[in-house]
Copies of this chain bind each other. A is one copy, B any other.
Amino acid sequence: MTRTKIVIVGAGFGGLATIKALKNTPAQITLIDRTNHHLFQPLLYQVATSVLAPGQIGSPIRGILRNQQNATVILGEVTGVDKDKKHVLVTTDDRQNVQVSYDYLILATGVTHSYFGRNEFEKFAPGLKSLADAVAIRTKILRAFEQAEAEEDPSRHRDLLTFVLVGAGPTGVEMASAIAVLVRTTLKSEFRRIDPTSARVVLLDMAPRVLTPFSEKLSDAAKRRLADLGVEVRLGHSVDQIDEDGVVVGGERISSRTVIWTAGVAPSPAGKWLQVEMDRAGRVRIQNDLTVPGHPEIFVIGDTASLDRDGKPLPGVAQVAMQQGRYAGKLIHRRIIGKSAPGPFSYFDKGNMAVVGKGFAVLQSGKIEMSGFVAWLAWAGIHLQFLAESSLRVSVFLQWTWTYWTGKRGSRLIVNSTQQKL
Q: A46-72: which have CB < 8 Å to B? A: 53-56, 58, 60, 62-63, 65-67, 69, 71-72
Q: B192–A415 contact, CB under 8 A?
A: no
Q: Looking at the complex, which one of B63, B132, B191, B422 makes contact with A408 (CB distance below 8 Å)?
A: B63
* Residues of A127-162 whose CB lies within 8 A of B: 130-132, 135, 142-143, 146-147, 149-152
A62 touches B418 (CB 8 A): no
| Across-interface contacts of A410 in B (CB, < 8 A) | 55
Cα separation A98 to B416 with both chains bound (whole Å): 21
CB-based nearest B residue for A411: B55
Tell me whether A152 and B98 are in contact (CB under 8 A).
yes
User: Could you say which residues of chain B place their CB within 8 Å of the CB of A398?
Assistant: 395, 398
Contact of A243 with B by CB under 8 A = no
- Bound state CA distance, A75 and B190, in angstroms? 13
> Does A36 reach chain B (CB closer than 8 Å)?
yes
* Copies of this subunit: 2
- Checking B72, B151, B408, B414 against A96 with a beta-carbon cut-off of 8 angstroms, the contacting residue is B151
From known contacts A75-B150, A147-B92, A150-B92, infer whether A189 and B66 are also in contact, taking CB-CB under 8 Å. yes
A413 close to B (CB within 8 Å): yes
Does A234 count as interface, using CB distance less than 8 angstroms? no
Verify if A73 is at the interface (C-beta below 8 Å from B).
yes
Knowing A53-B53, A53-B411, A417-B34, the reply to whether A98 touches B150 (Cβ < 8 A) is: yes
* A416 closest partner in B (C-beta): B132
Besides A36-B142, A75-B147, A77-B418, 5 more A-B contacts (Cβ < 8 Å) are A53-B53, A62-B187, A71-B192, A131-B415, A132-B419
8 A-B pairs whose Cβ atoms sit less than 8 Å apart in the complex:
A35-B417, A62-B187, A63-B408, A91-B418, A92-B151, A94-B150, A132-B416, A398-B398
The 10 closest A-B pairs by CB, nearest first: A55-B411, A62-B190, A92-B150, A94-B147, A75-B146, A72-B192, A36-B414, A53-B55, A53-B53, A60-B412
